[in-house]
Every structure is written in structure tokens, then in C-alpha cells.
Amino acid sequence: MAEATPIRPLPAASVETWHREADVVIAGYGIAGVCAAIEAARAGAEVLVLERTSGWGGAAALAGGFIYLGGGTPLQKALGFEDTPENMKAFMMAALGPGADEEKITDYCNGSVDHYNWLVDNGVPFKESFYGEPGWETPFDDGLMYSGGENAAPFKEVATPAPRGHVPQMTGKRTGEKGGGYMLMKPLVETAEQLGVVAEYDMRVQRLVVDETGRVVGIVAKQYGTELAIRARKGVVLATGSFAYNDEMVQQYAPRLIGRPGAAIEEHDGRAVRMAQALGADLAHMDATEVAFFGDPQLMVRGILVNGRGQRYVNEDTYPGRIGQETLLRNENQAYLIIDEAAYEEGCAATSSTPFFRFPPKWAAETVEELESDMGLPAGTLQTTVEVYNRHAENGEDPVLGKREQFVKPIGLPVAALDLRGCTAGFTLGGLRTSLDSEVLHVSGEPIPGLFAAGRCTAGVCAGGYASGTSLGDGSFYGRRAGIAAAKG
């Protein structure tokens, strides 16, 4: 069957005119692309970045800006937190699996302090201040926060808790529009420009060009309706983001996300994954997803979350992305927040980066029995859950799910329930399988010559689980590797 827009690689012999050329050609000017560009240019390569939109930034510039770094970064140390690469690895292996890539995580943790220093050296500012409140992000310009449930059950028993969500400092943040991620991208793009990196905008990468030996030697891109052949003398780097907005691929690989893409941009259409697949590239963790949950952590922590059977299923003081995964992937996307009036009012008065996630209760009642009945839950289910929770909460304990003592308080009366069913969205974490040098691996396990990739079009450090900062983290870390390796040719 003929392909509508050809995705199979184009033989180099059939290219009549090379419209542009450079040593290293990078597809996508988000976080992975800019880091690849900087390192390739520093290694002496002539670098051309092809970006589909009319400006740099990608999802990265909209992002909250957490970069997952640790192992004893200067910022962690300055703020009094102890961490080692081994400790960081223990957390990441437990929280990002099952199936997390141990080799990659070990490499990432060992290189994390150096990567922090590299970001700082390239102009990314981090303020020496720690934000310790429950939250999706810091509402201020603090530089460090827990961003993966490191200090909550079950992970606090696996590794010594250390905050690793490093956030570039900026004022005038607008959640989801211009966050810390903008202040990550801006100085890096300026650095790239100073190094002579050239960017071409409105240029949509379509397919790879391959020579008779199987080496990737260029890219075909479309600009204003015209197809252009662009030659890469040393290497091509794919850095075009996830496949969260490709409905067909989501249906095929990560069906839990059907109809609910989030924390991504429409340009994340999986094209790079398909282009490389057409060349025999291997994939990994295609079913893995980040899951955002539209609940305000300042409220969630003050109540109990129950599923469609009226049972608690996650400790409410953990990373909200973990709550999202537990809800969507393991509890049929059914969630209610049970909270008493006093706790609701206290939570609403607390400072939060996500006040828009503070929904009014759908049901309110004088007794738990009445609430349970109003919610349509089977008689006795919610009552039993609250009775067991309260019995232990009287002693400041949560033996069922391990919520920390400071957040454990009996649920009083009157009591209400927020309807949080279906309140999830997310992006895909799977993609091309790559080596530690960001070479795209063929299904045979061998690198595909001339082809490199980084960011969310690859399977990075996350497999099943997620921690905020791992996308900008592995995108920047392995973006650099891709640039270095591609410049070597």
C-alpha cells in the first residue's frame, strides 16, 4: 500500500539536490535538541537545527522546569541535603520501574553533579532555597523541591530521602505556559547561538536519508509545502518529543492515555519514532506513561483518596504524579477525595501552585454513612475505610499506606467528597532504544550508523514510574551525549 507521506528512508542515491548541509543536523529545538546542539558545536561541528514550529522551546519552554538531578549537587549541599549517586540510583530504580534501565540510571546518577554544573556554566540559574510544602511545583522561585515521592512511603524506606527536583529561577511564572522550563531553555538557546548553531524554523522533518551502507546521511524536511533534502556530514539527532498526540500510536502502545494527552504539545506526534522504526530501530517501554492528576496536593494531603469501591489506594502525601498513575493505571481512573469541612477550608487557604485544582465538593453530609449513600457507594465500604483510617489516625499512624504522621489526622464531621473521577492526563515515556552515547539501536542491538536520539522520542530513565524532572533531566543529559557522539561522526 502506498504511504500518504512517505516515512521509509530515502536512498541517498536518489537525492538530486542537497538543499542544505551541516556536520550535525538536529530535528527539534526543545530541551534535547538544544543540549545536543551546544555539545556538537563545542566539539567543533557545524550544527543545523530544524524546528517544526516558528520558534525554539518545545514542551520544555512551557514546563514547570523540574530537572531531576542529585547525587550531591552543589544546590543540594548548600541547602543541607545529603545525597550520593548510589542513593539516587536506589530511589530511581525503585520509583521508575518496573523494567527501569539500570545501566542508564547508573550512568545518569554518576553524571548528575557534573550535569548540574554544566547547566549552571551555561547560564541556567538556580536559587538557593528549598520549598517543602506539598505541591505539584513551587509557587515561588525556589530552586529545590521533592518531585518524586522520595520522602514518602514506600520510597523513603528504600533510599535516604533527598529532594532532586531542581528548578531554574524565574519571576512571572505562568503554570503551563511559561514556567521554570522557559528559564532552562532561554540561556541554553543563547549559548547555542553564541556557539554558531544555526536554526531553521517552520521545517518539519519527515524521513531519513540513508546511503548504500545503511548509514543515515541526511533528513528530508518540509518547509512551506516544499520538500528539502538536508545532508548531515557526521550525524542526525532526533529530538522531536513524545508520541502523546499521535492517537494511532497511543491506541497501539499506551491505550490508557487514549483521549487524555497532557503536559505535551501537539507537535509530539511520534514521527521520529516512526522514521527510525522504518529503519529497523528498536523500541522500549512504549506502554509507559506519566500521569498528571488534577487534584491540589494541599487538599489531598488533608483528606483520604478512595477509589470506586470506597477503598484507599495511595498515600495522599506522595508525589501527585504517583497518585495519577495509581488512579489511572490501577484504579480505573476512579478517585474521590474525602475531606472534612475544617480540613477543606484549611487546604483552600494554603498557598499552592495549582489553586485551579481546588474543586468544590460534589457531596457534603453530616455523617459518613450519609455521604457514602449519596455517593452511591456500596453500604459499609466508605464507612469501614474511614473507621479504620480514623482508628489509627488517633495515634498519628497510617499502617495501611504509610502516610507521614504530620499529615495523619482523623476525618471529622461534617464531611464532603470531591469527585475526581477521570481527572488525569499525561504523556508517553516510551520510544527509541538508545545506548549511553545516544546512538539509536537497531533491533539487532547494533547502533544504526549516523543516527542519534534523545528526549521523549526515546525511552529514557523512566519505565513504569515517573518523577517530575526526569524528562527535562534525561532529555538534557542524553541530548548532550547525542551531540558529542554525532559530532564524532
Ligand X SMILES: Cc1cc2nc3c(=O)[nH]c(=O)nc-3n(C[C@H](O)[C@H](O)[C@H](O)COP(=O)(O)OP(=O)(O)OC[C@H]3O[C@@H](n4cnc5c(N)ncnc54)[C@H](O)[C@@H]3O)c2cc1C
Please identify which residue in 472, 484, 485, 487 interacts with ligand X, judged by CB under 6 A: 472
Q: Which residue in the block uniquely carries the three cell numbers 534523545?
A: 454
- Decide whether 41 or 145 has the Cβ nearer to ligand X: 145
Other Cβ atoms less than 10 A from the Cβ of 392: the count is: 15
Record the cell numbers describing residue 453, joined without a space: 536520539
Residues 185-214 that bind ligand X (CB under 6 A): 204-205
- Decide whether 411 or 472 has the Cβ nearer to ligand X: 472
Total site size for ligand X, rule CB under 6 A: 41
Record the cell numbers describing residue 349, joined without a space: 487557604
Please identify which residue in 9, 28, 143, 303 interacts with ligand X, judged by CB under 6 A: 28
Contact 300, 338 (CB under 8 A): no
Record the cell numbers describing residue 136, joined without a space: 505539584
Tell me, rounded to whole angstroms, the distance of Cα 386 from its chain centroid. 34
Closest CA to 481 of 140, 162, 151, 110: 110
Interacting span for ligand X (CB under 6 A) from 101-109, 114-122, 186-194, 465-473: 465-473
Shortest separation between residue 147's beta carbon and ligand X, angstroms:
8
Shortest separation between residue 96's beta carbon and ligand X, angstroms:
12
- Decide whether 76 or 468 has the Cβ nearer to ligand X: 468
Shortest separation between residue 166's beta carbon and ligand X, angstroms:
10
Is 173 a binding residue for ligand X by CB under 6 A? The answer is no
Q: What are phi and psi of 126, to 5 degrees?
A: -125, 125
Q: Which residue is nearest to ligand X (CB)?
A: 30
**Residue 331 Rama label (left phi>0; alpha psi -120 to 50; beta):** alpha
DSSP 38-101: HHHHHTT--EEEE-SSSSS-TGGGGS---EE--SS-HHHHHTT----HHHHHHHHHHHS-SS--
Is 249 a binding residue for ligand X by CB under 6 A? The answer is no
Give the separation between CA 192 and CA 234, rounded to whole angstroms. 18
Interacting span for ligand X (CB under 6 A) from 105-113, 118-126, 319-327, 449-457: 449-457
Q: What are phi and psi of 371, to 5 degrees?
A: -60, -45
Give the separation between CA 12 and CA 458, rounded to whole angstroms. 25
Is 469 a binding residue for ligand X by CB under 6 A? The answer is yes
- Decide whether 282 or 474 has the Cβ nearer to ligand X: 474
Residues 252-311 that bind ligand X (CB under 6 A): 263-265, 267, 271
Residues 41-100 that bind ligand X (CB under 6 A): 50-53, 58-60, 62-66
Is 240 a binding residue for ligand X by CB under 6 A? The answer is yes
Is 333 a binding residue for ligand X by CB under 6 A? The answer is no
Please identify which residue in 98, 176, 196, 410 interacts with ligand X, judged by CB under 6 A: 176
Q: Footprint of ligand X on this chain (CB under 6 A)?
A: 27-33, 50-53, 58-60, 62-66, 176, 181, 204-205, 239-241, 263-265, 267, 271, 455-457, 468-473, 475
